[in-house]
Amino acid sequence: MPVGTQGTIKGILPEILPPSGTQIVLANTYHLMLRPGEKVVAALGDLHGMMAWPGPILTDSGGFQVFSLSDLSRMDDDGVHFKSHIDGAAVELTPARSMQVQNDLGADIIMCLDDCPPADAPPDRAAAAVERTLRWAARCKESHARPADQALFAIVQGGTDAALREHCLHELTGMDFAGYALGGLAVGEGFAAMKQVLDEFAPALPADRPRYLMGVGYPRDIVAAVCAGIDMFDCVLPTRNGRNALAFTTAGPIRLRNARFTADSGPIEADCTCPACRKFSRGAIRHFFFADEMLGPVLVSLHNVWFYQRLMCDIRRAIANGAMADFAANDPRSRLGPCE
């Protein structure tokens, strides 16, 4: 799912996305709650109308951004109290408030508010986060006002502690949610630790419900997670890197600001069908970045979205052909991690 933090995939018109293979996009509850506010979004035709996106939309609960972006004043079993990163205003986010905001935003899939501690949290903090996540999940389900047209997903916490994850999942499945997400990964634990959690724990997620790995990630992360049984992903990497002139290719990432691309007349990637590769050269795109033309970030963002969606299409084809293990072992994209 490409990420539209503020209600838009940065620099990309919504009608351009479907040809890439994009079926669903993500928007950010925390940011939209603060600006322009969920009531304004509702008045503009909810997220579908404001984003001019007729397809499915998922909104997160806002909890992760509270911990990562805001000035957190207090957290207790009622919710979180913080200062807005925009103007310093005092804000309270409770399970009921998160549901009310997401009900007003009108996304098709919405997420329970959860407590997401950092990867290096001590065991007692991780255990407390699981218990708080469970209490909040129950309150979210009670407060959800639109269950007929908005699927509510729960988030499984527990860090890299298998016993905590199993306890959290057992309690959440007893509440019967429409889907289940793995949270608290890709928060600093490293690829090896994340892969171990996925291999050991992802198969335990209900097989008849969507399985969602939040905030991940690099191509190698996605391939490893699919092998473990994960279905859904979101990440800002395609567009964030695109805005910084870094393009993903099957042979590895390339930095289009490098001088070696100055007079390069070839596309970003020869067999890519994205709008950037069909019409523009590496040299032209490099020039756009150095001339501070907005087209440069737009083109590389488009290419990266196409790259990720082609990866997902190829993964689905490999699964259908019973060849996912071979794909994971031999496709070069399965080894693409953080860009050095």
User: Which pairing describes strands 90-93 and 79-83: parallel, antiparallel, or unpaired?
Assistant: antiparallel
Give the CA radius of gyration of the chain: 20
The count of C-alpha atoms lying within 13 angstroms of the C-alpha of 229, restricted to the half-sphere facing its C-beta, is 18
- CA pair distance 308, 124, nearest whole angstrom: 38
Cβ–Cβ < 8 Å for 234, 3: yes
Catalytic residue among 60, 114, 115, 221: 60
Residues in the chain: 340
In what order do the strands lie in the sheet containing 151-156?
Answer: 3-4, 25-27, 57-59, 109-111, 151-156, 179-182, 211-213, 232-233
- In the set 161, 231, 234, 331, the catalytic residue is 234
User: Does the active-site annotation cover 60?
Assistant: yes
Structure token pair of residue 316: 């689905």
Q: What does the buried/exposed string (b/e) look like for 32-47 if buried means 16 or more CB atoms within 10 Å of the residue's CB? A: bbbeeebeebbeeebb
Cα distance between residue 20 and residue 275, in whole Å:
10
| Active site (catalytic) residues | 60, 234
